[in-house]
Chain A
Amino acid sequence: MLPQVLFQNRKPRRIATMEEYCRSGGYRVLEDIARGKYSPADICRIVGEAGLRGRGGAGFPAATKWMSVPVDGAYPRYLAANADEMEPGTFKDRMLIHVDPHTLIEGMIIAGYAISASKAFFFIRPSYDSSAMILERELERARQAGYLGDNILGSDYSFDIILHRSGGRYICGEATALLNALMGKRPNPMKPPPYPTVKGLWNRPTVVNNVETLANLPHILRNGPEWYKGLARTKTGAGTKLFCISGKVNRPGCVELPIGTPLREILEEHAGGMRAGSEFKACLPGGASTRYLTKDLLDVEMDFDSLSAVGHRLGTAAITVFDQKTCLVGVTLNLLQFFARESCGWCTPCREGLPYIRDLLWRIENGEGREEYIPMLRQMSRDVWNAYCALAPGAASPVESLLTFFEDEVREHIRLKKCPFSRPR
């Protein structure tokens, strides 16, 4: 069995209790903090040394983000845990909450301490209501145990976590949009400067971290940066990663694996290989806003740097696998349908460009395609990169890679004036 860190308390069909978490060493770090073992700067340093990179998709070093909070920044400061997991194919945050919520809670307290925040918001999407209810219950338990609230464990550090249910939109997962959502404003992203770490919620320094990032913190501090780095299979990687595998494999699900585990190994050993009669055609390696990854790259090591070296992104590490019977024009159309619907409507490329692309794809998929749509799609998927935030560039990735790797399939649709695949039932 591979080392399980975040999932070390995973139990079949039930949630690890606070007691179980504590037995596994949980809240030990918090006790150390309360005893004065770590200063906020110590936490930043250790996490920095561990090389923890943000798990939300962009892979930004967590400690660097914390340290961009100005030393003389105003108080109160805030932490926001991003559990607005809406990237199609991704469900690791949900798994985390349902496996071991207290590793998350302790992680949040540690991050809050690192940036001297007094309040945190746990931002969760509405379709995870059952997860939200678990968290509310466990937060209350943590509060009763003295891990949250005023003067945590007798120290002079006070910190509380408030659960915020989102109204439900993909864009809310974008850090600055999330802050707007928390403040009761329209969740349009806001381009820095100012950075949220300087002026975030109510103009106070605010750090937004993905929940998986936060869940790593207790373990890094408990076992040290060297241990954490050693978990990875690659030199540049650090720690483990939750991979969500879905699509045409035998055992879809969420598994914790060392970062840098080769894609082929993930699919064959941890997802049970391709389904009978299915043959690997392509996958999205990191959620809907990454490029299609083809057979020739099956041996790629799944970490941030290895993927970017071959022109791909780890994203949320949600691997969706497509087989030879799946129409990728259809898949791309579905993805664009999603992105166009979830555009916040702020900037032109996203608001108008994505529906345009969707329309062209729809025509191709439904037998109304024309040859000239191909250069149009190609150009437009480049042009939407000049959008306000990263949503449209993300949406362009599957389109661009479809045209790069599967142009023949697109042309086949146009030539036949219909989809050459039988529709998936």
Chain B
Amino acid sequence: MPRLVIDDLQIEVPEGTKVIEAAERLGIMIPRFCYHKALGSAGACRMCAVKFIHGPFKGLQMSCMIDAQDGMVVSTTDEEAVAFRRQVIEWLMMNHPHDCPVCDEGGQCLLQDETVSGGHGLRRYPGRKRTYHDQYLGEFIAHEMNRCIHCYRCSRFYQDFAGYRDLGPMQIANRVYFGRFRDGPLESPFAGNLVDICPTGVYTDRSSRYKARRWDLQRVPFLCIHCSLGCSTVASARYREVVRIEARFNESVNGHFICDRGRFAYPYANLADRPRRARVDGEDASLAEAVRAASGRLDQISMNAGPDAVALVASDRCSLETLAVLKRISREKGWRHPAVFPRPDLEHKTRRAVSRLDRRLAVSMRELESADFILAVGIDPVHEAPMLALALRQAFREDAGIVVMDPRPVSAPFDFDHVAIAPAEIGGCLSRITEALSALQADSAAQGKETRRPEAAGPLRADLDSRIAGIVERLRGSRNPVIVCGTDIVRDSTPDRAADLARLLLQLKARPCLFFVLPGPNSFGAVLLAESPGRSFSDVVQDIEQGKVKALLVVESDPFKNFPDRERLERALDRLDLLAAMDYLPTSVVGRAHIVLPTCTVFECGGSFINQEGRVQRVEPVHEGGIPVHQVSGGGHPPRVFSHEVPGGEIEAAWRTALEVAGYTNARDNLSILKIMAEEHPGFARCRDIPTSRSFRVLPDAGDRPPVCEETGDRAAPEAADTLEVVLVDRFFGTEELSGYSPVIQNADSEPLVFLHVRDAEPLGIAHSDWISIALEGGGLEVRAGVSAQMAEGVLVIPRHRLLEWQKLGPVPAQIPFGRISRAGKE
């Protein structure tokens, strides 16, 4: 490890560390624009010049371009270096507009900081400034090219790091222009990161434009809850309104970046039609009145029909606090344990995944980046866990091989082999891979005999054999393979199959190798707290229909969003004696509930969530809650309402209100909630000890506990040749619940397509982007078809999109006969 001296301080750094990085470890921040930890060195801005006094390099050199080496003596404060850096700033400021007062970057602008700290204050350049035309880059990002200082961070992030190909440098010399071929929305779902990495105000967040200066914001280290990965963010609020989400570096989870769903979903917290007043039977009430009413009626029903007639419904967007409290009160009141998952299979698969994960097996997303072979099954990364796609891309950039086994027309910003097979086939393939690999292993352990090819077995198509053999070979040849497994579209036993393979790989490679993607931000927490076997919402519906359940307390959950049979749901809810809803969203359930108890968003009350690798992450509130000043005052400021109370400020975290509904009046402080959590699951005891913005994993230690396999009869592939199996899927935008409420995302979202294979479409006379109509149980569905050859045959891929009435589907799993799909006349 080279040892060098920077500004009289000695440091030893790993081989290959750049001098700029070594200095940073000493706390010396060498000015820079183009250098970025994730993007590496470019040598473009020349701002990080320092003086090399002794050692293999001499004189003024760029500290981002030179590896730290033994014997180097470096001065960052040398007069020549300081003067040169001042000159660089003057050059950059030749053309930079002095529009800081109207620039959103002002106050958080690296260029501003370096200009001031470098001492460049007087303009000497007598010439005119360069001007550019800006482009429309979509709903998320505003473009102001005049501010550009050509550090190339944007194109290096966009093309090299993220792998998208519609933004880059054009022109030459001092006319270099960063933009698109023509105006239009950026195609990358990670484009929002341009806002964070641009060292000045070329790319700014349109959703937060002109709203606040950085120093006016309440900024809190935060957590993204828009998929199961749990990326780190910084949330900013002003005047009781969340105004901006930025990426926050997390060395285990997301690295430096986040996806656009995570960045632009936040406006759900600011909606004008958010439930802000409690309601009882359609009349506004104070929260206390509504709590009393709910409490009384639930007790009444418990008394009359038995506590079993009261069911709780929650969701995986509930915090761990809320889920723990619901578990506690349901047990103590005798109410039905909260149903978190909309479907039994989701609950089952999540539970299996969680139970199979342990400390030796679990791979963090950042570790995934250094895998050399990745087999991803039943997952469409960009749509289900967007940052996973970016992590896979980093592995790909380091020459990792990637195989995706999934029926969907998967597209991703990296090259991969797509094994497009139906959901029912995935588990079988995994088993065959495991068998072949362990047979090979046994063989070579025995006497190093010639390798046996995996035998073709079962009804799987013959062309699969060679592909499976290929995967086996690649797994064998890799040092650091990882199995990525989704839980949405796969069959019930697939997570177990993936875990079996991962366990074998762990034996062979002695490295963690399993990465699950779960349905939601707190699915992991939900199954840790669930009774076994857990119940899903469809069980609840059945119980309502059978008259066993008479009252529902729905906590931060919207069955209308995710229950596949809208008619049946409505009929069931109509039968209830009491429908009480607690939520911060204006959901359909809130709309029809007898009693509405508004709750706080995570921004207002904080909370803990467990991501898909078992990482418990807790965040503090960003602001105190209440109706945004902007809405109270009708846009004017200051508001003309004067009172002791903050408008809308009586609303509390769901867990507090839930405790009150259950009659606990003295267990409402933070200490008590930590106690409740620890009592409900011993793994949460550590929550007391860790500061927020730190995390820990609740995974069991390895132990060599044999996997507890639950034998589950998987649903077979449809036998009938004249039907398509419906595969309900998530999309980057439009299916995740919270972001669906974000106006900016609604504007950016594109039309949902229902996909089918070209060989399935042709006999029906359906071509890509044709309007088709599908006769579902609950009525006809008119939608545009996506026709692709890069997907499995025999499936109909329907996104659970908010603009698509997929809830007409009726009972799932569903098969659609070809006869019920036809071209629609619509154009």
Contact = CB atoms under 8 A, between A and B. Distances in A.
Interface string B133-173: 00000000000000001101000000000000000010111
A383 B91 CA distance: 11
Q: What is the size category of the interface that chain A forms with chain B?
A: 20 to 34
A186 interface: yes
A376 interface: yes
A344 B172 contact: yes
Interface in A163-221: 169, 186, 191
B169 A348 contact: no
A359 B125 contact: yes
Interface stretch (B40-48, B351-359, B533-541, B712-720): B40-48
B174 interface: yes
A380 B87 contact: yes
Given A356-B91, A380-B87, A347 B44 contact: yes
Contact of B92 (A169, A186, A341, A352): A352
Given A343-B173, A349-B91, A351-B173, A383 B126 contact: no
Contact of A351 (B43, B47, B84, B150): B150
B44 A346 contact: yes
B87 A383 contact: yes
A307 B527 CA distance: 79
Interface string B70-101: 00000000000000100110011011000000
Interface string B182-194: 0000000000000
Contacts of B60: 386
A347 B87 contact: no
Nearest to A345: B176
Contacts of B172: 169, 342-345
A352 B91 contact: yes
B175 A345 contact: yes
Nearest to B91: A352
Interface in B180-227: none
A313 B152 CA distance: 33
A213 B174 CA distance: 33
The interface centre, meaning the residue of B125, B152, B173, B174 with most chain A CB atoms within 10 A of its CB, is B173
A340 interface: yes
A353 interface: yes
B65 interface: yes
Nearest to A370: B126
A368 B127 CA distance: 12
Contacts of A379: 87
Contact of A345 (B65, B91, B171): B171
Nearest to B177: A345
A349 B88 contact: yes
Given A191-B65, A352-B92, A386-B84, A340 B173 contact: yes
Interface in A347-398: 347-349, 351-353, 355-356, 359-360, 363, 368, 376, 379-380, 383, 386-388
Nearest to A387: B46
B289 to A, nearest CB: 65
B826 interface: no
B123 to A, nearest CB: 12
Interface residues of B, number: 30
Contact of B152 (A346, A359, A360): A346
A373 to B, nearest CB: 9
B291 to A, nearest CB: 63
Interface string B39-65: 000011111010000000000101001
A303 B87 CA distance: 36
Given A359-B127, A386-B84, A388-B43, A340 B150 contact: no
A342 B171 CA distance: 11
Nearest to B149: A348
A344 B175 CA distance: 10
A18 B46 CA distance: 50
B126 A388 contact: no
B46 A388 contact: yes
Contacts of A353: 87, 91
Contacts of B92: 348, 352
A342 B173 CA distance: 6
Contacts of A368: 126
A191 B66 CA distance: 11
B150 A348 contact: yes
A349 B62 CA distance: 13
A291 B788 CA distance: 63
B124 interface: yes
A171 to B, nearest CB: 8
Interface string B341-374: 0000000000000000000000000000000000
Given A379-B87, A386-B60, A352 B44 contact: no
Contacts of B125: 356, 359
A186 to B, nearest CB: 7
Contacts of B91: 348-349, 352-353, 356
A343 B174 contact: yes
Contacts of B95: 352
A352 B124 CA distance: 14
B250 to A, nearest CB: 32
Nearest to B87: A383
B172 to A, nearest CB: 5
A355 B128 CA distance: 11
Nearest to B125: A356
Contact of B174 (A169, A191, A340, A363): A340
Given A349-B88, A383-B84, A363 B150 contact: no
Nearest to B81: A386
B174 A352 contact: yes
B83 to A, nearest CB: 8
Contact of B43 (A347, A352, A356, A360): A347
A186 B65 CA distance: 20
A257 B306 CA distance: 110
A352 B94 contact: yes
B152 A348 contact: no
Contacts of B150: 345, 348, 351
Contacts of A388: 43-44, 46
Interface string B226-261: 000000000000000000000000000000000000
B202 to A, nearest CB: 15
Contacts of A355: 94, 127, 173-174
Which A-B residue pairs are the 7 nearest by beta carbons? A352-B91, A345-B176, A359-B127, A343-B173, A383-B87, A348-B46, A345-B173
Interface of A: 169, 186, 191, 340-349, 351-353, 355-356, 359-360, 363, 368, 376, 379-380, 383, 386-388
21 contacts: A169-B172, A191-B43, A191-B65, A342-B172, A342-B173, A343-B174, A344-B172, A347-B44, A347-B46, A348-B46, A348-B47, A351-B150, A351-B174, A352-B91, A353-B91, A355-B127, A379-B87, A383-B84, A383-B87, A386-B49, A388-B46
Interface of B: 43-47, 49, 60, 62, 65, 84, 87-88, 91-92, 94-95, 124-127, 149-150, 152, 169, 171-176
